[in-house]
Each structure stands twice: as C-alpha cells, then as structure tokens.
Amino acid sequence: MPDTATPAAIDLARYSTFVPSDPFEDHTGPFYFRIDGDARAKDSVHCVLPTEPRHANYAGGVHGGAVLTFADYALCLVAGRAADGGSNSSFAMTVSIAVEFLNAGRIGPPLEARGEPLQVTGRLAFARGSITQEGRIVALWSGVCRHVARDKAMARKEAARAAVAVTPQTVPADFDLLANASVYSRHIGPSYARKEADGATLVQPTLPHMCNSGGVLHGGYMMSFADSAVTRAAGLVTGMAPSTVSFAAEFLAAGDALSPLTTRVEVPRHGRTLAFLRGLLEQNGKPLLSYSSTILLRPRR
C-alpha cells in the first residue's frame, strides 16, 4: 500500500492491533499494523493511527506527543519484527529515538508509518522511517530498540501488575494544575507545573493506562509528558506560542504506575524564533528519560 493512500483506501479490517494488548496504546489509539512479505525488508511493516479529536493540540492539529507515540510504536514494530522475523516472539523496548517534525498533522486523516530495519544484533535492533498523512511527510524518525524474549517480558508484567496500588498520589502544594492543557494532554491525565527562572518543573501522577504491554510505563507516554513539558516551559520563559521541531530521547530505566513523574526542563538558549531545551524525567529520584528538543516560537494570537 503506497504512502499516498487516501483514508478510504485503508481497510483497517486487514490490519492488526498489538497482541497482547497495550494499555497506553489502547487509551490513545487504537494503533494498527500490517506486515506484507518479509518482515526484515524495507517498508514491509505498515502502521496506521486514525486521528481523532482527542489527539489535538492547542491549535487543533495532531499533538506532538501523539506523533512521538506513533513514532515509538512504528520503531518497535519495524525493529521488533525484523528481530524475530515477524513471529511476535520478541518484545522491543526503545533505547533511544529521534524525531524531526516536518509538517503539522491534521485531525481526521490517518497517520501512516513505514520504516527500514538497518541492523539487528543479538540484543539491539536499529531502524528508521517516516510518518505521513495523505502522502505528505509529517515526521522522520530513527531509533534503537533492545529486544528480549516475549515470555520473559510478560513474566515481568505479571509482577508489575501485582504491585499496582490504588493509593492516591500527592503533588507538592506549589505546583499549579494545567487547567488550559491541550485536549491530548488532558486525555492522558492531569499534570501540574511550576515556573522556574530558566524553565519549568512539571509533575504528573501516573495511572495504569500509562503502562505498556510489559507492565511498565510506556515510552510513548513518557515522551508525551516530556513534549508537553518542553512546550510549556518554552511558553513560560519566552511568552511565545511554541511548537516542537525536533525531539530526541534516551531511555535510562523503566518506570511504574505507583508514584508521580517529575521533569525539570531547562531552556539554555532561545532567540526570537527558536528555543533549545533539555530535560530529565524522574520517578522517586530515579532518572527514567533524558531528552532534548528544539521549539519553534511564534507570536501568540
């Protein structure tokens, strides 16, 4: 199926959703994929995300966090299926990913992703690809996954599920609820912010739907929170309207849905049109995600 396919040409009945089910992808998706031919070949894996109003950003387009989640999904499908030959016997975990945003996505037409496996080793798989919408490139992505046996990953899931508690998670009193958050951010869950001299600190209580099929926090969720954090920090520091141009992340450790996430975003440099940011996402003092981003700045309307 060519990247120029129109929404009517995509018969989702011919596609699959991920098995076993993934809570965060179920919450933000559904996401679909299909493998044509050799899973190790370029463009053999075709991923589809039907866009809905819940994916919207402030401007009414597709939120950067939704694009990042879809890029993470495509990376894990392309790299993971290349590692196991399409058998779904391995579980792919993102080690690092970089995404370049070339155009804004619209709500309505589906996003599509294809990729190219670059190399598979005993523990790692490398891939790159693109996200398109109605034939137009929305983003380019590249990344590295670690692949392990799926039965081993599922054993960890059962242990993580047994540990999930319903104890309320508290947020420090000097943080303000982001009442004017985007539709996509509100759909994920409430978050809280505090302005800093050179950026912002954000806190978000975690919920079970933020986890992946392995029972730990989904990489797309963590990047969604980080993307919301960088745009919020850029807006607070510059007073301008921000949009993500590029985002790169390194996954340092796994998180759980037992306690809030905290991220401190710094704005080392900004001009009239661009801001450069970096941040570290932590849980109980343990670093989970290191990230950096370039933000485009426009006057607020």
Closest CA to 154 of 84, 89, 71: 89
The token duo for 256 is: 């759980």
Q: 3-state SS string over 134-200? A: CCEEEEEEEEEEEEEEHHHHHHHHHHHHHHCCCCCCCCCCCCEECCCCCHHHHHHCCCEEEEECCEE
Is residue 1 a part of any domain in this protein?
A: no
Res 301: pLDDT:
77
pLDDT, one tens digit per residue, over 256-294 is: 999 999 999 999 999 999 999 999 999 999 999 999 999
The mean pLDDT value of the chain amounts to: 90
* Residue, of 7 and 148, whose pLDDT is higher: 148
Whole-angstrom distance, CA of residue 191 vs CA of residue 232: 11
Q: Which domain holds residue 130?
A: 7-153+163-298
From the number of C-beta atoms within 10 Å of its C-beta (0-12, 13-18, 19+), residue 250 rates as: middle
Cβ atoms of 169 and 206 closer than 8 Å: yes
The confidence score (pLDDT) of residue 87 equals 74
Residue 132 lies in a domain: yes
Q: Would residue 158 count as lying in a domain? A: no
Task: Quote the CA–CA distance of 6 and 38 in Å, as a whole number.
Answer: 25
Q: In this structure, is residue 2 part of a structural domain?
A: no
Total domains in the chain come to 1
Q: Is the pLDDT confidence value at 5 over 50?
A: no
Is residue 197 one of the residues assigned to a domain?
Answer: yes
pLDDT score at 164: 54
CATH number at residue 14: 2.40.160.210
pLDDT at 54: 96
Give the model's confidence band at 2: pLDDT under 50 very low, under 70 low, under 90 confident, else very high. very low
> Mean of the pLDDT values across residues 3-32?
81
Could you read off the pLDDT of 107-140 as tens digits, one per residue? 999 999 999 999 989 899 999 999 999 999 999 9
Does residue 78 fall inside a structural domain?
Answer: yes
Count of CB atoms situated within 10 Å of the CB of 89: 13
Pairwise CA distance, residues 218 & 69, whole Å? 9
What number is the average pLDDT over the span 36-60?
Answer: 93
Query: Has residue 218 been placed in a domain?
Result: yes
Given a contact cutoff of 8 angstroms between Cβ atoms, the answer to whether 128 and 142 are in contact is yes
Asked if the structure places residue 204 within a domain, the reply is yes
| Token digits of residue 81 | 């299926």
Side chain identity at residue 113, one-letter code: A
